[in-house]
A and B are shown apart, each in its own frame.
Chain A
Amino acid sequence: MKNRICPSIEVLSGYLAGSLAGDEKIAMERHLTGCPRCRQLLVETYEIMSSRGIHKRCKKWLDLAVKNRWFMGAQAALILSFFFPAYFVQFLTACFLMGCKWIIDAKTTKMLIMIHEAWKRGEKTELDKELSGFKHFMF
Protein backbone atom coordinates (compact mmCIF):
# COMPACT_ATOMS: atom_id res chain seq x y z
CA MET A 1 0.00 0.00 0.00
CA LYS A 2 1.23 3.49 -0.84
CA ASN A 3 2.43 5.49 2.11
CA ARG A 4 0.49 8.78 2.35
CA ILE A 5 3.61 10.85 2.86
CA CYS A 6 5.49 9.27 -0.05
CA PRO A 7 6.62 11.85 -2.62
CA SER A 8 5.19 11.68 -6.14
CA ILE A 9 7.04 9.77 -8.83
CA GLU A 10 7.79 13.09 -10.51
CA VAL A 11 9.91 14.07 -7.49
CA LEU A 12 11.42 10.59 -7.22
CA SER A 13 12.41 10.55 -10.89
CA GLY A 14 13.76 14.08 -10.46
CA TYR A 15 15.97 12.82 -7.63
CA LEU A 16 17.32 10.01 -9.83
CA ALA A 17 18.00 12.46 -12.66
CA GLY A 18 19.81 14.78 -10.25
CA SER A 19 17.34 17.64 -10.75
CA LEU A 20 16.56 18.10 -7.05
CA ALA A 21 18.60 20.51 -4.97
CA GLY A 22 18.82 21.95 -1.49
CA ASP A 23 16.06 21.20 0.99
CA GLU A 24 14.06 19.17 -1.51
CA LYS A 25 16.96 16.78 -2.03
CA ILE A 26 17.60 16.45 1.71
CA ALA A 27 13.89 15.80 2.36
CA MET A 28 13.89 13.17 -0.37
CA GLU A 29 16.94 11.43 1.09
CA ARG A 30 15.40 11.50 4.56
CA HIS A 31 12.24 9.91 3.18
CA LEU A 32 14.20 7.25 1.29
CA THR A 33 16.00 6.16 4.45
CA GLY A 34 12.68 5.28 6.08
CA CYS A 35 10.58 4.08 3.13
CA PRO A 36 11.56 0.69 1.70
CA ARG A 37 8.86 0.95 -0.98
CA CYS A 38 10.25 4.15 -2.52
CA ARG A 39 13.80 2.85 -2.14
CA GLN A 40 12.87 -0.30 -4.02
CA LEU A 41 11.16 1.68 -6.79
CA LEU A 42 14.24 3.88 -7.13
CA VAL A 43 16.60 0.90 -7.30
CA GLU A 44 14.42 -0.93 -9.82
CA THR A 45 14.24 2.17 -12.03
CA TYR A 46 17.99 2.60 -11.85
CA GLU A 47 18.48 -1.07 -12.75
CA ILE A 48 16.26 -0.82 -15.84
CA MET A 49 17.85 2.40 -16.98
CA SER A 50 21.40 1.12 -16.57
CA SER A 51 20.55 -2.08 -18.44
CA ARG A 52 19.22 0.14 -21.23
CA GLY A 53 22.67 1.73 -21.50
CA ILE A 54 24.29 -1.69 -21.90
CA HIS A 55 21.67 -2.66 -24.48
CA LYS A 56 22.33 0.55 -26.43
CA ARG A 57 26.09 -0.02 -26.38
CA CYS A 58 25.65 -3.63 -27.57
CA LYS A 59 23.38 -2.44 -30.39
CA LYS A 60 25.95 0.15 -31.43
CA TRP A 61 28.70 -2.48 -31.70
CA LEU A 62 26.37 -4.87 -33.50
CA ASP A 63 25.44 -2.17 -36.03
CA LEU A 64 29.11 -1.43 -36.60
CA ALA A 65 29.87 -5.11 -37.12
CA VAL A 66 26.99 -5.49 -39.61
CA LYS A 67 28.08 -2.36 -41.45
CA ASN A 68 31.66 -3.64 -41.88
CA ARG A 69 30.82 -7.32 -42.29
CA TRP A 70 32.73 -7.74 -45.58
CA PHE A 71 35.82 -6.08 -44.19
CA MET A 72 35.71 -8.28 -41.10
CA GLY A 73 35.11 -11.37 -43.24
CA ALA A 74 38.15 -10.51 -45.38
CA GLN A 75 40.27 -10.08 -42.27
CA ALA A 76 39.06 -13.37 -40.83
CA ALA A 77 39.82 -15.18 -44.10
CA LEU A 78 43.32 -13.68 -44.18
CA ILE A 79 44.03 -14.80 -40.62
CA LEU A 80 42.61 -18.28 -41.23
CA SER A 81 44.78 -18.70 -44.35
CA PHE A 82 47.85 -18.69 -42.07
CA PHE A 83 46.32 -21.19 -39.63
CA PHE A 84 45.29 -23.67 -42.35
CA PRO A 85 48.16 -23.80 -44.87
CA ALA A 86 46.42 -26.57 -46.83
CA TYR A 87 43.63 -24.13 -47.80
CA PHE A 88 45.87 -21.06 -48.11
CA VAL A 89 44.85 -20.23 -51.69
CA GLN A 90 41.13 -20.75 -51.03
CA PHE A 91 41.18 -18.48 -47.99
CA LEU A 92 43.22 -15.90 -49.85
CA THR A 93 40.68 -15.92 -52.71
CA ALA A 94 37.84 -15.52 -50.23
CA CYS A 95 39.74 -12.64 -48.62
CA PHE A 96 40.22 -10.97 -52.03
CA LEU A 97 36.55 -11.39 -53.01
CA MET A 98 35.24 -10.11 -49.69
CA GLY A 99 37.73 -7.22 -49.83
CA CYS A 100 36.42 -6.29 -53.31
CA LYS A 101 32.84 -6.48 -52.05
CA TRP A 102 33.73 -4.21 -49.15
CA ILE A 103 35.34 -1.65 -51.48
CA ILE A 104 32.39 -1.71 -53.92
CA ASP A 105 29.82 -1.42 -51.12
CA ALA A 106 31.57 1.53 -49.49
CA LYS A 107 29.67 4.83 -49.82
CA THR A 108 32.70 6.76 -51.05
CA THR A 109 33.29 4.23 -53.85
CA LYS A 110 29.67 4.45 -54.95
CA MET A 111 29.91 8.23 -55.02
CA LEU A 112 33.14 8.12 -57.05
CA ILE A 113 31.54 5.77 -59.58
CA MET A 114 28.51 8.07 -59.91
CA ILE A 115 30.75 11.13 -60.41
CA HIS A 116 32.81 9.25 -62.98
CA GLU A 117 29.70 8.15 -64.90
CA ALA A 118 28.30 11.69 -64.88
CA TRP A 119 31.62 13.07 -66.03
CA LYS A 120 31.72 10.54 -68.88
CA ARG A 121 28.21 11.60 -69.95
CA GLY A 122 29.38 15.19 -69.92
CA GLU A 123 26.99 16.29 -67.16
CA LYS A 124 28.07 18.86 -64.69
CA THR A 125 28.09 17.70 -61.06
CA GLU A 126 26.82 19.87 -58.23
CA LEU A 127 30.42 20.52 -57.24
CA ASP A 128 31.32 21.64 -60.79
CA LYS A 129 28.35 24.01 -60.82
CA GLU A 130 29.34 25.47 -57.49
CA LEU A 131 32.95 25.83 -58.56
CA SER A 132 32.01 27.50 -61.86
CA GLY A 133 29.85 30.00 -60.00
CA PHE A 134 32.67 30.68 -57.63
CA LYS A 135 35.14 31.24 -60.52
CA HIS A 136 32.72 33.64 -62.18
CA PHE A 137 32.36 35.58 -58.96
CA MET A 138 36.12 35.70 -58.33
CA PHE A 139 37.37 36.54 -61.80
Chain B
Amino acid sequence: MSTEELLKKCIERDYEAWNDFIERYKSLVTRSVRYKLKKISVKMKMPRDEFRDIVQEIFLTIWEKNELARVRDAASLEGWLVMVSLNRTSNYCRGRIYAKPKNMVSLEADLFAGKPGISLKSMIPSACFNTVDMVESRELSELLKSEIDSLDHKQQLALKLNVYEHRKQKDISKIMNIPENTVATLVSRAKNRVREKMEEYFERNEGK
Protein backbone atom coordinates (compact mmCIF):
# COMPACT_ATOMS: atom_id res chain seq x y z
CA MET B 1 0.00 0.00 0.00
CA SER B 2 1.39 3.41 -0.93
CA THR B 3 1.89 6.12 1.71
CA GLU B 4 -0.91 8.25 0.20
CA GLU B 5 -3.41 5.38 0.40
CA LEU B 6 -2.31 4.50 3.91
CA LEU B 7 -2.66 8.09 5.06
CA LYS B 8 -6.10 8.41 3.47
CA LYS B 9 -7.37 5.19 5.04
CA CYS B 10 -6.02 6.14 8.46
CA ILE B 11 -7.82 9.48 8.26
CA GLU B 12 -10.99 7.56 7.37
CA ARG B 13 -10.48 5.56 10.62
CA ASP B 14 -9.63 2.21 9.02
CA TYR B 15 -8.27 -0.05 11.82
CA GLU B 16 -6.36 -2.34 9.48
CA ALA B 17 -4.60 0.58 7.82
CA TRP B 18 -3.82 2.02 11.25
CA ASN B 19 -2.12 -1.26 12.25
CA ASP B 20 -0.06 -1.11 9.06
CA PHE B 21 0.79 2.50 9.84
CA ILE B 22 2.08 1.56 13.30
CA GLU B 23 4.11 -1.32 11.90
CA ARG B 24 5.64 0.91 9.23
CA TYR B 25 6.52 3.89 11.42
CA LYS B 26 7.11 2.29 14.83
CA SER B 27 10.87 2.17 14.38
CA LEU B 28 11.02 5.80 13.21
CA VAL B 29 9.03 7.06 16.22
CA THR B 30 11.08 4.89 18.60
CA ARG B 31 14.32 6.26 17.15
CA SER B 32 13.06 9.84 17.49
CA VAL B 33 12.07 9.31 21.13
CA ARG B 34 15.45 7.68 21.89
CA TYR B 35 17.27 10.54 20.18
CA LYS B 36 15.45 13.21 22.20
CA LEU B 37 15.88 11.37 25.50
CA LYS B 38 19.57 10.95 24.80
CA LYS B 39 19.86 14.62 23.99
CA ILE B 40 18.26 15.74 27.22
CA SER B 41 20.17 12.95 29.00
CA VAL B 42 17.30 11.36 30.87
CA LYS B 43 17.46 8.00 29.09
CA MET B 44 19.55 6.39 31.79
CA LYS B 45 17.16 7.39 34.53
CA MET B 46 14.07 6.18 32.72
CA PRO B 47 12.65 2.68 33.19
CA ARG B 48 12.22 0.63 29.99
CA ASP B 49 8.42 0.42 30.35
CA GLU B 50 8.12 4.18 30.57
CA PHE B 51 10.07 4.58 27.35
CA ARG B 52 7.57 2.31 25.59
CA ASP B 53 4.74 4.32 27.15
CA ILE B 54 5.94 7.46 25.37
CA VAL B 55 5.92 5.73 21.97
CA GLN B 56 2.49 4.27 22.68
CA GLU B 57 1.15 7.63 23.84
CA ILE B 58 2.37 9.31 20.65
CA PHE B 59 0.50 6.85 18.44
CA LEU B 60 -2.56 6.93 20.67
CA THR B 61 -2.85 10.73 20.57
CA ILE B 62 -2.40 10.77 16.80
CA TRP B 63 -5.23 8.23 16.44
CA GLU B 64 -7.62 9.71 19.01
CA LYS B 65 -7.33 13.29 17.79
CA ASN B 66 -7.11 12.22 14.14
CA GLU B 67 -3.99 14.34 13.83
CA LEU B 68 -3.02 12.73 10.54
CA ALA B 69 -5.72 14.85 8.87
CA ARG B 70 -3.50 17.88 9.47
CA VAL B 71 -0.56 16.46 7.49
CA ARG B 72 -0.16 18.43 4.27
CA ASP B 73 0.99 15.61 1.97
CA ALA B 74 2.45 12.11 2.04
CA ALA B 75 5.96 13.44 1.30
CA SER B 76 6.08 15.37 4.56
CA LEU B 77 4.56 12.57 6.68
CA GLU B 78 7.83 11.15 7.99
CA GLY B 79 9.20 14.58 8.91
CA TRP B 80 5.92 15.44 10.62
CA LEU B 81 5.97 12.21 12.60
CA VAL B 82 9.55 12.84 13.77
CA MET B 83 8.69 16.42 14.81
CA VAL B 84 5.61 15.24 16.71
CA SER B 85 7.68 12.57 18.47
CA LEU B 86 10.41 15.04 19.42
CA ASN B 87 7.92 17.59 20.77
CA ARG B 88 5.89 15.02 22.71
CA THR B 89 9.03 13.52 24.26
CA SER B 90 10.27 16.89 25.49
CA ASN B 91 6.79 17.71 26.81
CA TYR B 92 6.65 14.37 28.58
CA CYS B 93 10.04 14.91 30.20
CA ARG B 94 9.19 18.46 31.18
CA GLY B 95 6.20 17.21 33.09
CA ARG B 96 8.14 14.50 34.91
CA ILE B 97 10.68 14.53 37.67
CA TYR B 98 13.46 13.56 35.26
CA ALA B 99 13.71 17.11 33.98
CA LYS B 100 15.31 18.68 37.03
CA PRO B 101 15.59 17.65 40.68
CA LYS B 102 13.59 19.85 43.04
CA ASN B 103 15.19 22.50 45.26
CA MET B 104 18.00 23.06 42.79
CA VAL B 105 18.82 26.47 41.36
CA SER B 106 20.51 26.78 38.01
CA LEU B 107 23.39 29.24 37.68
CA GLU B 108 22.36 30.03 34.10
CA ALA B 109 18.62 30.56 34.81
CA ASP B 110 17.23 34.09 34.89
CA LEU B 111 16.96 35.33 38.44
CA PHE B 112 14.07 37.76 37.88
CA ALA B 113 11.04 36.92 35.80
CA GLY B 114 10.83 40.20 33.88
CA LYS B 115 14.55 40.81 33.44
CA PRO B 116 16.35 38.37 31.18
CA GLY B 117 20.13 38.18 31.28
CA ILE B 118 20.53 38.51 35.05
CA SER B 119 21.62 35.15 36.43
CA LEU B 120 23.60 33.99 39.45
CA LYS B 121 26.52 33.14 37.19
CA SER B 122 26.80 36.73 35.97
CA MET B 123 27.05 37.90 39.59
CA ILE B 124 29.98 35.66 40.49
CA PRO B 125 33.18 37.69 39.99
CA SER B 126 35.50 35.90 37.62
CA ALA B 127 39.29 35.70 37.97
CA CYS B 128 39.64 37.25 34.54
CA PHE B 129 36.96 39.88 35.17
CA ASN B 130 37.68 43.03 33.24
CA THR B 131 35.07 45.74 32.63
CA VAL B 132 36.75 47.09 29.47
CA ASP B 133 36.98 43.61 27.95
CA MET B 134 33.38 42.90 28.85
CA VAL B 135 32.09 46.10 27.24
CA GLU B 136 34.19 45.49 24.14
CA SER B 137 33.08 41.90 23.73
CA ARG B 138 29.43 42.87 24.22
CA GLU B 139 29.78 45.64 21.63
CA LEU B 140 31.48 43.21 19.26
CA SER B 141 28.82 40.55 19.63
CA GLU B 142 26.06 43.11 19.06
CA LEU B 143 27.81 44.34 15.93
CA LEU B 144 28.24 40.79 14.68
CA LYS B 145 24.58 40.04 15.34
CA SER B 146 23.41 43.16 13.52
CA GLU B 147 25.68 42.35 10.54
CA ILE B 148 24.31 38.80 10.33
CA ASP B 149 20.74 40.13 10.61
CA SER B 150 21.34 42.54 7.73
CA LEU B 151 22.18 39.66 5.36
CA ASP B 152 19.77 38.30 2.78
CA HIS B 153 17.42 35.71 4.40
CA LYS B 154 18.85 32.79 2.41
CA GLN B 155 22.44 33.75 3.24
CA GLN B 156 21.45 34.25 6.85
CA LEU B 157 19.77 30.84 7.16
CA ALA B 158 22.65 29.02 5.46
CA LEU B 159 25.20 30.80 7.67
CA LYS B 160 23.26 30.12 10.88
CA LEU B 161 22.83 26.44 10.02
CA ASN B 162 26.54 26.26 9.26
CA VAL B 163 27.87 28.22 12.23
CA TYR B 164 25.26 27.86 15.00
CA GLU B 165 23.99 24.35 14.25
CA HIS B 166 27.35 23.00 12.95
CA ARG B 167 25.85 21.55 9.78
CA LYS B 168 27.89 20.60 6.70
CA GLN B 169 27.11 22.06 3.29
CA LYS B 170 25.66 18.73 2.13
CA ASP B 171 23.18 18.71 5.04
CA ILE B 172 22.24 22.37 4.51
CA SER B 173 21.53 21.72 0.84
CA LYS B 174 19.14 18.92 1.81
CA ILE B 175 17.44 20.95 4.54
CA MET B 176 16.96 24.01 2.33
CA ASN B 177 16.30 21.99 -0.84
CA ILE B 178 18.90 23.85 -2.88
CA PRO B 179 22.05 22.61 -4.71
CA GLU B 180 25.24 22.12 -2.70
CA ASN B 181 27.13 24.66 -4.85
CA THR B 182 24.52 27.31 -4.05
CA VAL B 183 24.97 26.62 -0.32
CA ALA B 184 28.74 27.01 -0.69
CA THR B 185 28.24 30.33 -2.47
CA LEU B 186 25.71 31.58 0.09
CA VAL B 187 27.88 30.67 3.08
CA SER B 188 31.11 32.03 1.63
CA ARG B 189 29.44 35.31 0.54
CA ALA B 190 27.87 35.72 3.97
CA LYS B 191 31.16 35.03 5.75
CA ASN B 192 33.07 37.40 3.46
CA ARG B 193 30.58 40.18 4.00
CA VAL B 194 30.64 39.79 7.78
CA ARG B 195 34.43 39.59 7.71
CA GLU B 196 34.68 42.82 5.67
CA LYS B 197 32.38 44.65 8.09
CA MET B 198 34.34 43.42 11.09
CA GLU B 199 37.64 44.45 9.50
CA GLU B 200 36.21 47.92 8.89
CA TYR B 201 35.20 48.07 12.56
CA PHE B 202 38.67 47.07 13.77
CA GLU B 203 40.35 49.55 11.44
CA ARG B 204 38.09 52.32 12.72
CA ASN B 205 38.89 51.42 16.32
CA GLU B 206 42.63 51.25 15.70
CA GLY B 207 42.53 54.76 14.19
CA LYS B 208 40.98 56.19 17.35
Q: Which positions in A face B, CB cutoff 8 Å? A: 8-14, 16-19, 26, 29-30, 32-33, 36, 39-52, 55
Q: Is the CB of B79 within 8 A of A16?
A: yes
Could you tell me the dominant secondary structure of chain A's interface residues? helix
Q: Which positions in B face A, CB cutoff 8 Å? A: 28, 31-32, 35-36, 39, 70-73, 75-80, 82-84, 86-87, 153-154, 156-157, 160-161, 164-165, 167, 171, 174-177
With a cutoff of 8 Å between Cβ atoms, the chain B residues found around residue A9 in the complex are: 80, 83-84, 87
Q: Is the CB of A50 within 8 A of B174?
A: yes
Shortest beta-carbon distance from A76 to chain B in Å: 32
Q: Is the CB of A47 within 8 A of B35?
A: yes
With a cutoff of 8 Å between Cβ atoms, the chain A residues found around residue B36 in the complex are: 44
Other-chain contact of A39, B79, B84, B161 (Cβ < 8 Å)? B161
Q: Is the CB of B156 within 8 A of A43?
A: no
A48 and B167 alpha carbons, distance in the complex (Å): 14
Other-chain contact of A32, B32, B82, B84, B157 (Cβ < 8 Å)? B157
Q: What are 21 A-B pairs at a CB distance below 8 A? A: A13-B83, A14-B73, A16-B76, A16-B79, A17-B79, A18-B75, A19-B75, A26-B153, A33-B157, A39-B164, A41-B83, A43-B165, A43-B167, A44-B36, A44-B39, A44-B82, A46-B171, A47-B35, A48-B32, A48-B35, A48-B82
Q: Is the CB of A43 within 8 A of B161?
A: yes
Q: Which residue of B lies closest to A12 (CB)?
A: B83
Which of A17, A36, A40: most chain B CB closer than 10 A? A17
A41 and B35 alpha carbons, distance in the complex (Å): 12
Q: Is the CB of A14 within 8 A of B72?
A: yes
Q: Is the CB of B75 within 8 A of A17?
A: yes
A10 and B82 alpha carbons, distance in the complex (Å): 11
Shortest beta-carbon distance from A74 to chain B in Å: 34
Q: Would A49 and B78 be within 8 Å (CB), given that A33-B157, A42-B175 are in contact? A: yes
Q: Which residue of A lies closest to B75 (CB)?
A: A17
Q: Is the CB of A10 within 8 A of B174?
A: no
Other-chain contact of A33, B31, B83, B156 (Cβ < 8 Å)? B156
With a cutoff of 8 Å between Cβ atoms, the chain A residues found around residue B177 in the complex are: 18
Q: Is the CB of B73 within 8 A of A45?
A: no
Which of A9, A11, A12, A52: most chain B CB closer than 10 A? A9
A12 and B176 alpha carbons, distance in the complex (Å): 11
Q: Which residue of A lies closest to B78 (CB)?
A: A49
With a cutoff of 8 Å between Cβ atoms, the chain A residues found around residue B76 in the complex are: 10, 13-14, 16-17, 19
